[in-house]
Amino acid sequence: MDESHFVIPNTIGVHAVAAKGMRAHSIDEVRQARKIARAEKLRFVPLGEGSNILPYARVDAFVCVIDLKGIRVIAETQRHISVAVGAGVNWHLFVQYSLKRGWFGLENLSLIPGSVGAAPVQNIGAYGVEVGAYIDRLTVLDEDGICSTLTQSDCQFAYRNSVFKQSDRRTILEVEFKLLKHPEVRWGYPDLRAELTSVGVLAPSPNQVAAAVMSVRRRKLPEPAIVPNVGSFFKNPLVSVATAAVLRARHPQFKQFSTVDTVGAACVKLSAAQLIDTAGWKDKPSATVACWSKQPLVLVNLGADRLEPIMSFAEDIQRDVLDKYGVQLEVEPSLLF
């Protein structure tokens, strides 16, 4: 059932193997995988489609690809519909499935790579929407093989963060979404609004929003199956209001967005892409790694078969942005070693 030297799926295009691993198609198989990992004193690492990980060549862990399928309606009211989705369902296919059935809320998250079970880990977000806002409950498996339910508040969702990213004690098996039966369209994000108004759409439907999101993403972002990447390599940095004021005085062209941090304190979000672009990294490719020409926040693999040159390139960017602007960029995907 388990496999030694398990090849780790990943969209960054590097060769990586785990000490052991398997693909689990049922809760019992996930439970068995955890049991094996514990018996062999290996760290247990659950994965989806490998779209948000950075694995080194040898990962000293038991890697389990969670491949639980299924979509089922579990409750319905006049305003909402609750849908339970297996962790192994492809994220974009689920978004499309929802729209076809008149279930709304996730349209801004169209075309994000990965699986449903991976979405809560990073609290994926795009074009003004985060997935955590539509998650009601999750079914998880703990280290002892016991299933339990977590509520939205238990997940501690924050910007590109959740309780699952802070600890690997729980494995997501199923996600319950509370979706809208009557749309509340969000299209205020600048790129999205520009895309819609350019074709004369001034009161978009959810399907039009989804189509616009896909159009923007396909135009700006590389397809991982063609050009290996993990999407956004760095988080948009959050800085204090005081730091933002200093940056505004020195670099008035930098975009700034008022927000709050994980404890509710006022802070300012900066554009990592703009910092990287202004520092000149779109024009500084290495032999095997580069910033994507249309979106410098995305690092693309041009031929590296190991993670080290990619991380070296990323670290050079981090140092340069810190030296020039005093802002620390944080890597968004999870490192596996």
Residues identified as active-site: 160, 232, 332
Distance, CA of 81 to CA of 95 (rounded, Å): 14
Distance CA 88, CA 118 (A): 9
Q: Long-range contact list for 144-148, CB < 8 A, 24+ apart?
A: 145/31, 145/34, 145/35, 147/27, 147/173
**Whole-angstrom Cα distance, residue 311 to residue 299?**
10
Residue with tokens 């990447």: 229
Burial (Cβ within 10 Å: 0-12, 13-18, ≥19) of residue 261? middle
The b/e string for 225-244 (b: 16+ C-beta within 10 A; e otherwise) is eebbbbbbbbbbbbbeeebb
- Residue type for 195, please? E
Sort residue 187 into left (φ over 0), alpha (ψ -120 to 50) or beta: alpha
Task: Give CA–CA dist 257/246, Å, rounded.
Answer: 15
**DSSP per residue over 47-113, as a string?**
ESSSTTEEE-SEEEEEEEEE----EEEEEE-SSEEEEEEETTSBHHHHHHHHHHTT-BS-GGGTT--
**CB-based contact 235:159 (threshold 8 Å):** yes
- Choose among 296, 32, 6, 3: nearest CA to 171: 32
User: Which two tokens mark 238?
Assistant: 């959050």
